[in-house]
């Protein structure tokens, strides 16, 4: 049977429609595949920092992560982080870092097996309370590391330093800036002698007056007992006991 022109035209149109539908379906499938691959790549890239570095080590060291890894130098409570050279990372490449680059250095505390404050109170080291003897007892502790709550030459805080020095003269003191101040008599600066106590007005710190605007003190975490200028203006002086010049 001979096909009419209309029938032939209809069949050609149907074939063209099927071809267009097939091509459209292939394009959609290709775009879907590209989208999925891109999404997986972005997810893997964003996950690299969390899998590439140990989170506990990162939190402890304070190491910043972006396209590079850098270790900053800082000090906290006597714990210092040694600076390390930057280690550059690029996608697909890395350089192994030595463990020594992330070493945490802690100042070694003194080993002290000598008399404690209570031992000196029971049996004083010095029989005469003089400025010279007080300066000697304070100067011997220079270099002792600051330790919060410390009251021996293994480690001292500010009031622990005053406590230990005065214990060597048989004077018992509480371990508190405020309480030590309340046991003493306030004196004008013009009457102060080496061995009197420097007290910050807010009772946040104290030390032993050395004359000429200087004092011995245990400054802060990460520091050590030292002789230094009195660096604040809001302070006063107190006298715990009569001092022979």
Catalytic residues: 158, 205, 217
Question: Which residue intervals of the chain are DSSP H helices?
Answer: 5-52, 55-61, 117-122, 131-139, 158-167, 177-182
235 forms bridges with which residues in the sheet? 200
Residues ≥6 apart with Cβ < 8 Å to 239: 184, 185, 187, 196, 197
DSSP label at residue 240? S
Selection from 176, 202, 183, 191 nearest residue 237 by Cα: 191
Residues ≥6 apart with Cβ < 8 Å to 159: 173, 175, 176, 177, 180, 206
> Which tokens go with 25?
């379906």
- Cα angle 203-209-212, degrees, rounded to a multiple of 5: 125
**Alpha carbon distances (Å) from 135 to 32, 80, 90, 182, 243:** 82, 31, 59, 23, 12
CB atoms within 10 A of CB 212: 9
**Alpha carbon distances (Å) from 35 to 27, 48, 208:** 12, 20, 73
């Amino acid at each position: 049977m001979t096909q009419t022109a209309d029938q032939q035209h209809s069949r050609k149109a149907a074939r063209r429609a099927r071809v267009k539908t097939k091509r459209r379906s292939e394009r959609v499938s290709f775009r879907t595949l590209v989208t999925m691959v891109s999404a997986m790549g972005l997810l893997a890239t964003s996950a690299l920092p969390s899998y590439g570095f140990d989170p506990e080590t990162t939190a402890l060291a304070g190491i910043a992560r972006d396209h590079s890894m850098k270790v900053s130098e800082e000090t906290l409570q006597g714990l210092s982080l040694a600076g390390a050279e930057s280690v550059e990372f690029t996608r697909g490449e890395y350089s192994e870092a030595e463990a020594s680059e992330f070493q945490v250095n802690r100042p070694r505390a003194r080993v002290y097996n000598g008399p404690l404050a209570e031992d000196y109170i029971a049996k004083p080291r010095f029989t005469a309370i003089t400025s010279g003897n007080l300066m000697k007892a304070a100067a011997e502790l220079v270099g002792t590391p600051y330790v919060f709550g410390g009251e021996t030459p293994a480690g001292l805080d500010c009031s622990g330093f005053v406590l230990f020095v005065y214990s060597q003269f048989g004077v018992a003191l509480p371990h508190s800036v405020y309480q030590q101040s309340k046991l003493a008599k306030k004196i004008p600066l013009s009457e102060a002698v080496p061995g009197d106590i420097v007290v910050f007005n807010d009772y946040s710190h104290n030390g032993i007056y050395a004359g000429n605007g200087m004092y011995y003190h245990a400054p802060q975490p990460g520091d050590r007992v030292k002789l230094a200028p009195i660096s604040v203006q809001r302070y006063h002086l107190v006298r715990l006991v009569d001092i022979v010049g």
